[in-house]
């Protein structure tokens, strides 16, 4: 029988991170799983050695030649290699609570209408010290989040791949990761899923840990920072595609009205801010003038005595 959960680990020239990811998977309390490590252009022998040393069984390694892959190609390659009920992307630098799989699988078993389930996520900040990346702080990702909402997801992505277990069969309905994108491929997929299915949310303690290294460059960088320009470009591309689809079907009337209203609102906000700043500046000027007058008045007796003394000295 196929395993119930398939785990896709995307990695590229980062043996230390890959070693940590495999140890993280080995620590899961849910054992009915299969792992596919997708080596996205890295050194094959290096990845093979790390996997062999991990002690994990039933790990498939797929090597993609340098220049032929990318984040989306690696994700699709890994998912297509699986025949499991559920899948999750475990990028090499992220981590799980030991019960992530057991709790998310139980949720999907209890909610057959949901295409997937997300969990509370914590950002783990890391800095490099003495050659190693060490944790220096934590913060909640979307603190207080209680649901996965299409409305909220259309504004901004509120989930990261490490935090979402979903049913593999959903790809037959909504398609694969969009390989024309260099970033935001997970957000794009979630939007397509949410058009036809719900994605559940498992409230409680954080079960996923998204590491961020703001100061990292090169291969150690997060996509969040290392691909910042690609994120901005592909975010706009996803929105433009959706808008173009709407216009083809419904016409440009409503988008034109919304765009004009948004511009009018932005202009109103700008004017309101300018007026508020002018009032604050004028109030500060008035307060300063009043303070100066009070200071002068307070020292008038002293100044008068000094002037009288100067006249007497001058008279001599």
Given a cut of 80, is residue 132 above it in pLDDT? yes
- What is residue 299's predicted lDDT score, i.e. its pLDDT? 63
Higher pLDDT, 68 or 187: 187
Examine the pLDDT at 142 and tell me if it is beyond 60: yes
Size (the chain), residues: 316
Q: 197: how many CB neighbours lie within 10 A of its CB? A: 16
Distance, in Å, from the CA atom of 120 to the CA atom of 257, rounded to the nearest integer, reads: 37
Looking at mean pLDDT, say which of 61-70, 253-262, 307-316 comes out highest: 61-70
300 pLDDT band (50/70/90 cuts)? low
Burial class (CB in 10 A: 0-12, 13-18, 19+), 255: middle
Q: Predicted confidence band at 92 (pLDDT cuts at 50, 70, 90)?
A: very high
Write the CB contacts of 302 (distance below 8 Å, at least 6 apart in sequence).
none
Average pLDDT in the chain: 90
- 29 pLDDT more than 90: yes
Per-residue model confidence (pLDDT) at position 57: 85
Contact call for residues 37 and 50 (beta carbons, < 8 A): no
Bigger pLDDT: 99 or 303?
A: 99
> Percent of the chain scored above 70 by pLDDT?
91
pLDDT at 267: 85
pLDDT digits (tens, 9 = 90+) for 110-123: 999 999 999 999 99
pLDDT tier at 309 (50, 70, 90 boundaries)? Answer: low
pLDDT per residue over 175-200, tens digit each? Answer: 999 999 999 999 999 999 999 999 99
């Amino acid at each position: 029988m196929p395993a119930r959960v398939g785990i896709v680990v995307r990695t590229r020239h980062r043996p230390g991170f890959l070693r940590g990811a495999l140890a993280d998977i080995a620590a899961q309390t849910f054992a009915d799983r299969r792992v596919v490590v997708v080596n996205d252009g890295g050194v094959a022998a290096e990845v093979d050695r790390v996997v062999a040393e991990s002690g994990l069984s039933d790990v498939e390694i797929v090597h993609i030649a340098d220049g032929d892959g990318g984040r989306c190609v690696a994700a699709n390659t890994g998912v297509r290699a699986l025949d499991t009920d559920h899948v999750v992307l475990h990028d090499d630098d992220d981590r799980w609570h030991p019960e992530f799989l057991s709790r998310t699988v139980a949720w999907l078993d209890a909610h057959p209408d949901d295409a997937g389930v997300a969990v509370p996520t914590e950002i783990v900040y890391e800095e490099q010290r003495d050659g190693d990346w060490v944790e220096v702080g934590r913060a909640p990702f979307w603190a207080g989040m209680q649901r996965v909402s299409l409305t909220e997801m259309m504004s901004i992505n509120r989930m990261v791949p490490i935090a979402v277990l979903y049913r593999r069969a959903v790809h037959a309905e909504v398609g694969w990761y969009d390989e024309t994108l260099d970033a935001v491929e997970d957000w794009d997929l979630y939007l397509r899923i949410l058009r036809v299915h719900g994605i559940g949310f498992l409230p409680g303690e954080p079960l996923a840990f998204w590491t961020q290294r703001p100061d990292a460059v090169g291969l150690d960088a997060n996509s969040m920072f290392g691909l910042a320009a690609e994120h901005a470009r592909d975010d706009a591309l996803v929105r433009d595609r959706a808008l173009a689809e709407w216009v083809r079907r419904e016409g440009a009337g409503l988008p034109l009205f919304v765009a004009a209203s948004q511009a009018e609102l932005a202009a109103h906000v700008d004017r309101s801010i300018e007026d508020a700043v002018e009032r604050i500046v004028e109030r500060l000027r008035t307060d300063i003038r009043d303070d100066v007058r009070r200071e002068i008045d307070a020292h008038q007796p002293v100044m008068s005595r000094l002037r009288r003394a100067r006249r007497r000295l001058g008279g001599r």
